[in-house]
Chain A
Amino acid sequence: MAVAVLIPTVLRKHTAGKDQVAAQGASVREILRDLETQFRGFTQNLYAEDGDLKPFINIYVNEEDIRFLQDLDTPVQSNDTVTILPAIAGG
């Protein structure tokens, strides 16, 4: 099952500059695993030492932050969009 993944600027060096790619998988974790297979090194710096996503990276399934869903185990379906974005602050 293929879903669309939106790639932020900082990760486009792995995707030959592409800002959107297709990936296979039934969960965010599987999608990331597929991205690593397609683009070696893609996930190299995404994870903290404890295996969790680094706090500086946010991943959304459609519009929702996966930290409010099931984190890396959040399920994805073929018409979903996965968005990877840097975390920024504000006020």
Chain B
Amino acid sequence: MAEDLKCRECGKAYSAQPAAMCEECFGPLEFNVDYSQLAGILTREKIAQRAKNMWRYRELLPITNVPAPGASIGFTPLVVANNLAKHWGVQELYIKNDAVNFPSLSFKDRVVSVAIAKAIDFGFKVVGCASTGNLANAVAAQAAACRLKTCILIPSDLEPAKITGTLIYGANLIAVTGNYDEVNRLCTQIAERYQWGFVNVNLRPYYAEGSKTYGFEILEQLGWKTPQHIIVPMAGGSLITKIQKAVQEFQKLGLIEQSPCRIYGAQAEGCAPIVNMVKQGLDRLRPVKPNTIAKSLAIGNPADGIYAARVMRQSGGTGESATDDEIVAGIRLLATTEGIFTETAGGVMIAAAEKLIRSGKIPPDESIVLSITGNGLKTQDAITGSVKITATIKPTFQDFQRTYEQGGEAWQ
């Protein structure tokens, strides 16, 4: 497959290189290959025979070689969520669960594996990123397995589990006393000076394509069908655009029928620049100063925001936001109904889905997919105050019996 970067704004074509911005108009570069010659060649049967990981769609990714440590990434469960469906009064509800993605328990493993494959192709010895946590975990883990050095930048107030989950891999981790947008600015300046492979800066066009596999898997796991509604959490706004791209590429290849798929974006109320843009019908994104417990979504000036808004508008979806209390309630609802512990971003998405369903924007008799992109063990700080031990007792049977028989409402 010929490699080809193209400007999303003016269409200027570029050869394969570590670059993210058009020299002419400053628009973002996108890896954009017309896969139509694969129609009839890349078939459902061919894909279905392959190993259950994201590389089963390798012809649709900008890679030549898969680094061995990344070979098991993807093909996470699509869970039939009957309990939550009943709770909301809807008929057909699924959860795409990247809380259990390999190796670092978030969908970022997908994008990083593509970016690191390219970093190796381009000859970089150091890889890095600006991150709100999950990306840092994914880069640190895969860089260690590929024997690459790292330079990872995060806001210094990140959840401790996300910091430990980066440091354990031996990463060079720089904590910056500022919000993500400030970390991002600094990272861009560093990337300008040092010739390193920053996965979400100069490797961004390749990195972003990895997100498509999340969408491909949903379509295949539904039985080569498009769901009528997909709800997606948004930080930088990239994932939602790549889910739409996944649907379009499968349609072009004839792997699925053309049928409408409404795509909805969820953000925390304390950082909802893209949702605001959609709800208020604005052409331009107004950046905000983030203030939310959903730190992984706390990007106040999301670079893909305008494209994310376009996906929602074009597909017939919309945006919805959630308060910090609703986020915590969302995390608990998913855990107590489906036994899936998601992070704050998942709580945002659950709370937004509930509002979209309760308000009738999503009809109860149509198929719905919820996008879970990260694991709750990483953001436990957000919920520890809202859960408590049923009872603490001495190691005697009498103590247990008394506690149980007098327990009343403490027993759920």
Contact = CB atoms under 8 A, between A and B. Distances in A.
Interface of A: 8-10, 13, 19, 45-46, 52, 54-58, 60, 63, 65, 67-68, 83, 85-91
Interface string B224-265: 000000000001111000000000000000000000000000
B26 A88 contact: no
Given A88-B204, A91-B108, A65 B287 contact: yes
Shortest Cβ-Cβ A-B pairs, 4 listed: A89-B236, A89-B303, A91-B235, A56-B26
A9 to B, nearest CB: 6
B296 to A, nearest CB: 7
B187 interface: yes
A13 B23 CA distance: 10
Contacts of B184: 88, 90
A90 B131 contact: yes
Contacts of B286: 67
B296 A54 contact: no
A90 B25 contact: no
Nearest to B26: A56
Contacts of B181: 65
Interface in B257-303: 284-287, 289, 296, 299, 301-303
A89 B21 contact: no
Contact of A45 (B24, B28, B285): B24
Contacts of A60: 185
Given A45-B25, A45-B26, A89 B188 contact: no
Contacts of A67: 286-287, 301
Contacts of A88: 20, 130, 184, 187-188, 200-201, 204, 303
Given A13-B23, A88-B187, A89-B304, 19 more contacts: A10-B26, A45-B25, A45-B26, A54-B26, A55-B285, A55-B305, A56-B21, A56-B28, A58-B301, A83-B185, A85-B188, A88-B201, A88-B303, A89-B299, A90-B130, A90-B131, A90-B187, A91-B131, A91-B134
B289 A68 contact: yes
Interface string B188-201: 11001000000011
B213 interface: no
B173 interface: no
B204 A68 contact: no
B289 A56 contact: no
A91 B21 CA distance: 18
B26 A57 contact: yes
A13 B130 CA distance: 27
Given A86-B21, A87-B303, A89-B200, A68 B135 contact: no
Contacts of A85: 185, 188-189, 192
23 contacts: A8-B188, A8-B192, A45-B24, A54-B26, A55-B306, A58-B301, A63-B182, A65-B181, A65-B185, A65-B287, A67-B301, A68-B289, A83-B185, A83-B189, A85-B185, A85-B188, A85-B192, A88-B130, A88-B303, A89-B200, A90-B303, A91-B108, A91-B135
B318 interface: no
Interface string B73-91: 0000000000000000000
A65 B130 CA distance: 17
Nearest to B135: A91
Nearest to A86: B21
Contacts of A55: 284-285, 303, 305-306
Contacts of A87: 301, 303
A19 B24 CA distance: 18
Of A63, A67, A83, which is in contact with the most chain B CB atoms at under 10 Å from its CB?
A67
